[in-house]
């Protein structure tokens, strides 16, 4: 790590212990999620570089952080992304966290040397003045996890386990930010939870970066072959009572995570009510 990169990491982002992860939320939902005590909303997918949806969420809330999970470096060029960051940060200082990543080789025709492309993209963000402490990198394997600690606030692993979180913390050290995502189904019916979980996992069972990461975690080829074993689904999707789900999510914090992005697998209109069920067991400070 160069002195320039090290000095840019003054402090970790503070997103609270838990946030909501999804494909998007309305400003009203964000307001309600904030009132429940969640510290952030993460918006998944590969949003376009303009990030026009961010300000309405921040305008509707007071302290809630908004994070991207993630902006895809292949589809969103660094210059307009940086312009969007500065626009948002000027209006709402310190409340937007830029998550970037390389996406999936199977989805991008120009996908090539992803590590080198990621380094080049981070170089461009440096050139355009996006501070390292206000960006995170989607990271699974050791090399990108270490890069995330060196060139950004830290890592945002997706579809992992608390065991991965513990290993990631060892790799990146205590000062880097670590915010894994974990999926949730609010039901005590194991068959139903696994069915919902498998539907959500299906696309990832054909993506090499996830398959390789699960192998590193000790899952077998039988586990990660479609439709995915019960063992795999149970590791990646928390279900059961709200107390059981909360206990599973807290395992990430115990393993060294700073923040957990909770993705409740439910219909959009049920998101806030599901997060409300979890807020108490998660120990969040809810406001009326």
> Where are the chain's structural domains?
3-181+258-279
CA dist 33 → 102, 209, 273 (Å): 29, 31, 9
Tens-digit pLDDT profile for residues 95-150? 999 999 997 655 555 556 889 999 999 999 999 999 999 999 999 999 999 999 99
Specify the CATH number of the domain 3-181+258-279. 3.20.20.30
Residue of 163, 144, 131, 177 lying closest to 15 (CA atoms): 177
CA dist 49 → 46, 78, 84, 161, 274 (Å): 9, 8, 7, 30, 30
CA dist 74 → 60, 101, 113 (Å): 31, 9, 12
Tens-digit pLDDT profile for residues 23-68? 999 999 999 999 999 999 999 999 999 999 999 999 999 999 999 9
pTM of the model: 0.94
pLDDT at position 145 is 98
């Amino acid at each position: 790590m160069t002195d320039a990169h090290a000095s840019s990491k003054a402090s970790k982002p503070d997103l609270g212990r838990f946030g909501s992860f999804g494909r998007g939320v309305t400003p009203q939902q964000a307001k309600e999620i904030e009132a429940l005590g969640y510290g952030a909303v993460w918006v998944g997918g590969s949003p376009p570089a303009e990030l026009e949806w961010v300000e309405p969420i921040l305008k509707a809330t007071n302290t809630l952080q908004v994070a991207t999970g993630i902006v895809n470096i292949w589809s969103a060029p660094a210059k307009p992304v940086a312009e969007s960051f500065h626009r948002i940060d000027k209006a709402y200082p310190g409340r937007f966290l830029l998550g970037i990543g390389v996406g999936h080789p199977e989805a991008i025709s120009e996908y090539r040397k992803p590590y080198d492309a990621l380094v080049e993209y981070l170089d461009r963000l440096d050139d355009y003045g996006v501070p390292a402490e206000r960006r995170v990198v989607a990271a699974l394997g050791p090399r990108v996890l270490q890069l995330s600690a060196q060139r950004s606030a830290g890592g945002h692993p997706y579809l992992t386990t608390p065991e991965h979180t513990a290993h990631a913390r060892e790799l990146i050290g205590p000062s880097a930010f670590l915010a894994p995502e974990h999926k949730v189904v609010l039901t005590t019916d194991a068959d139903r939870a696994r069915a919902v979980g498998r539907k959500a996992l299906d696309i990832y069972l054909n993506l090499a970066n996830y398959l390789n990461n699960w192998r590193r975690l000790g899952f077998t080829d039988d586990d990660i072959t479609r439709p995915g074993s019960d063992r795999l689904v149970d590791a990646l999707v928390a279900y059961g009572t709200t107390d059981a789900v909360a206990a599973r999510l807290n395992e990430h914090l115990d393993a060294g995570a700073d923040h957990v992005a909770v993705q409740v697998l439910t219909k959009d209109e049920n998101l806030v009510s599901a997060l409300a069920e979890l807020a108490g067991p998660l120990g969040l400070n809810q406001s009326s």
